[in-house]
C-alpha cells in the first residue's frame, strides 16, 4: 500500500476518462496513470523487496488516489520522493523508448519535436541532442521557446507568431529526418509534408483532438501512399503499453541521467495558473484544463498533501 505524494497529469487522461482506451469499463472508475509516494504497508510477497517508508514510483491505471494498492512488480524504488522522478515514468519513458526503437537517431540528423516544451517533448529534445542531432521544437509562447533553448533546442518555432510550414520550408529545404509528433490535426499534415527522404514520423499522440467527441481532429493526409512512396518515408505509431519489456531498462537509464545532472526534468505545479498551485485531488481537473490551454512548461504534477487525520 502506497501513500501518494505526487501524481502526474497526462494528455491521455481525457481519453481514458472518456472510455476510449477500454470501452468495457463502466463509470465510476478510478483514473490517472502514475504517482510517486512512500510505502505505508506491505503484503507478504512484497516484504522481500520493499520496506515501509521507502520511496517508490508506480505506473497503474487509477493512480489519482491518496492511497493506492500496487503489485510489487509494478513499483519502482526511488532514491527519494521527488516530483522530478514522476516526469520520467510515462513522459520520459515514452520519449526514450520511442526514439530508441523507432527513431534511428544518429549524429547530424534533423529532428522535429512538436509541443516540445510539454511533459514528454522536453525529453525528446534532450535525448535527440544527446544523440548529436539538430533539434527543432515547436511551442506556443516565447517563454516556452526560452525554456527549449535552455535545454539545448537548436531552433524554436513559436506556432502563435510564426508560420511553422514556411519556417521549415525556408530553413530546412531538404526536410527533417525524424518527427516526434504529439499534436495531430494540422500539425500532423505539416509534419508529414516536411519529411526528408527516408524520413520517419513517430505518432505518440494527437492532443489537438482529444477533447472532441471522437478524440480525433481530421487530417488531410490525402495521397498518403504517394507521399510516403515518393520519399521512402514511414509513419510509426507508439503506445507505451506495447513496449513494457523495454520499460525497466529505459527508466534505469533515465534515473541515472537525472541523478548525474545530465537530464532536466521540468515540473509545472501550476503556480502561474489563475487559482495557483495544483494541490490535492480536487485540483486535478484544473491541472487537466491548464494542459489543454497549452500553458504548461514541462510536466504537470499535482501535489497531494499528507493528511494528519489519516484513518490508516
Q: Which three cell numbers stand for residue 256?
A: 541515472
Residue 274 falls inside a structural domain: yes
Q: Which domain holds residue 204?
A: 91-241
Residue 187 falls inside a structural domain: yes
- On whether both 32 and 162 belong to a single domain, the answer is no
117 CB contacts (<8 Å, ≥6 apart)? 137, 139, 144, 145, 147, 148, 296, 297, 298
Residue 260 falls inside a structural domain: no
**Looking at residue 215, which CATH number applies to its domain?**
3.40.50.720
Q: What is the tally of structural domains in the chain?
A: 2
**Strand boundaries in the chain, DSSP class E:** 2-8, 34-39, 55-59, 67-68, 75-77, 110-113, 134-139, 155-158, 176-181, 195-203, 234-237, 267-268, 299-303
**Looking at residue 48, which CATH number applies to its domain?**
3.90.180.10
pLDDT in tens, the chain (312 residues): 899 999 999 999 999 999 888 888 888 989 999 999 999 999 887 888 899 999 999 998 899 999 999 998 889 999 999 999 999 999 999 999 999 999 999 999 999 999 999 999 999 999 999 999 999 999 999 999 999 999 999 999 999 999 999 999 999 999 999 999 999 999 999 999 999 999 999 999 999 999 988 888 888 877 899 999 999 999 999 999 999 999 999 999 999 999 999 999 999 999 999 999 999 999 999 999 999 999 999 999 999 997 645 555
Amino acid at each position: 500500500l502506497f501513500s501518494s505524494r505526487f501524481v502526474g497529469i497526462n494528455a491521455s487522461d481525457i481519453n481514458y476518462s472518456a472510455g476510449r482506451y477500454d470501452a468495457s469499463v463502466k463509470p465510476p472508475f478510478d483514473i490517472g496513470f502514475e504517482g510517486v509516494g512512500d510505502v505505508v504497508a506491505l503484503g507478504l510477497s512484497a516484504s522481500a523487496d520493499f520496506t515501509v517508508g521507502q520511496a517508490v514510483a508506480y505506473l497503474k491505471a487509477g493512480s489519482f488516489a491518496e492511497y493506492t494498492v500496487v503489485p510489487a512488480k509494478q513499483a519502482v524504488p526511488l532514491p527519494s520522493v521527488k516530483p522530478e522522478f514522476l516526469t520520467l515514468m510515462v513522459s520520459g519513458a515514452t520519449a526514450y523508448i520511442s526514439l530508441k526503437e523507432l527513431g534511428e537517431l544518429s549524429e547530424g540528423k534533423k529532428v522535429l519535436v512538436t509541443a516540445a516544451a510539454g511533459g514528454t517533448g522536453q525529453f525528446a529534445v534532450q535525448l535527440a541532442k544527446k544523440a548529436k542531432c539538430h533539434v527543432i521544437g515547436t511551442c506556443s509562447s516565447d517563454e516556452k521557446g526560452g525554456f527549449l533553448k535552455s535545454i539545448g533546442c537548436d531552433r524554436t518555432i513559436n506556432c502563435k507568431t510564426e508560420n511553422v510550414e514556411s519556417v521549415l520550408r525556408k530553413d530546412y529545404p531538404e526536410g527533417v529526418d525524424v518527427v516526434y509528433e504529439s499534436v495531430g490535426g494540422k500539425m500532423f499534415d505539416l509534419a508529414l509534408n516536411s519529411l526528408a527522404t527516408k524520413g520517419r514520423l513517430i505518432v505518440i499522440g494527437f492532443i489537438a483532438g482529444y477533447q472532441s467527441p471522437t478524440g480525433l481532429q481530421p487530417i488531410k493526409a490525402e495521397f498518403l501512399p504517394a507521399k510516403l512512396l515518393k520519399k521512402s518515408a514511414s509513419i510509426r505509431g507508439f503506445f507505451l503499453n506495447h513496449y513494457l519489456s523495454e520499460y525497466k531498462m529505459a527508466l534505469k537509464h533515465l534515473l541515472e541521467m537525472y541523478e548525474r545532472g545530465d537530464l532536466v526534468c521540468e515540473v509545472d505545479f501550476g503556480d502561474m495558473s489563475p487559482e495557483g498551485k495544483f494541490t490535492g485531488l480536487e485540483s486535478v481537473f484544473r491541472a487537466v484544463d491548464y494542459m489543454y490551454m497549452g500553458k504548461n512548461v514541462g510536466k504537470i504534477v499535482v501535489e497531494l498533501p499528507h493528511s494528519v487525520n489519516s484513518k490508516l
